[in-house]
Amino acid sequence: MTRHEQHRFIDQELKGLWPQWSPTDAEVRVWTALLSEYDYDAARSALLQCFCEQAGNYTRPRPAPFLARLRSLRVATPQARRPPQADIQTRVFLECIEAPPWNVHLAQRRVGVYVLPAARLDDVEYVRRCAESMRRRFIPLYGGAWITVVGKARPARPSIPPCARAESRRQACAQILAGPETPGRRWLERYLARAARRDAATDAAQTSEPARLAEQIDRAWQPTGAP
């Protein structure tokens, strides 16, 4: 949970079920540290089960049975693995051009501006408007002076046909073989020799049987008495 959700859970869920409970600052710290590792809905479900199963009329919530129930729910319903997210790129950034005196390491700091849905990242004007709203919040939050920076679009990588790749490999091999004697050149020579032997063996296996059959056919059609 976020810090806001932790305090909302204490005010609405815990105090709602135990209205006579007036937590001390130490108790609030214990509960916020406990809730920080769990989801709001899962914690609420565990809390309701603990409240229904409590044997006595307690005036305050007990962390130990709540934590045990919450852990049992996590084991019983394991979280599904999230698919790996794509590497999302943005062209719009917020840059700190003048850091505040109490936070000098923010100088020249850039923060990417991301929006949802991710498909709208291609709409630079929309992202720029979102960045302006974000910039206004950064000034009172972090201090200093921030500007919006729009980077250049990355040129699309040209697709290389397979024939061009093969030709590039042949040229690179030719340059290495024509160069000085190096471990890389010796390795390439051994590799090419093994590849040539493998290709020769494959060709022989593919052509030996047809050649034998052709020879048998020629002999069968030879006229009688022919040498």
- Per-chain mean pLDDT for the chain: 76
- Residue 9: burial class (beta carbons within 10 Å; 0-12, 13-18, 19+): buried
Query: What does the block give as tokens for 88?
Result: 């999302």
What 3-state DSSP class applies to 148?
strand
First CA to last CA across the chain, in angstroms?
Answer: 96
- Residue extents of the structural domains in the chain: 3-76, 92-150, 162-205
Q: Give the list of residues 6+ apart from residue 86 with CB closer than 8 angstroms, or none.
A: 118
Q: What is the pLDDT of residue 56?
A: 67
Q: Say how far apart CA 13 and CA 34 lie, in whole Å.
A: 15
CA distance 135 to 148: 7
Q: Which residue type does 98 have?
A: E
User: Is the separation of the CB atoms in 66 and 47 below 8 Å?
Assistant: yes
Residue carrying structure tokens 């390795």: 187
Q: The whole model's pTM is what?
A: 0.35
**Low-confidence spans in the chain with pLDDT less than 50:** 76-86, 226-227
pLDDT digits (tens, 9 = 90+) for 119-169: 777 788 888 888 888 888 888 888 888 888 887 655 555 556 666 667 777
* pLDDT in the model for residue 112: 83
> What integer pLDDT is reported at residue 78 of this predicted model?
46
Which pLDDT does position 75 carry in this prediction? 55
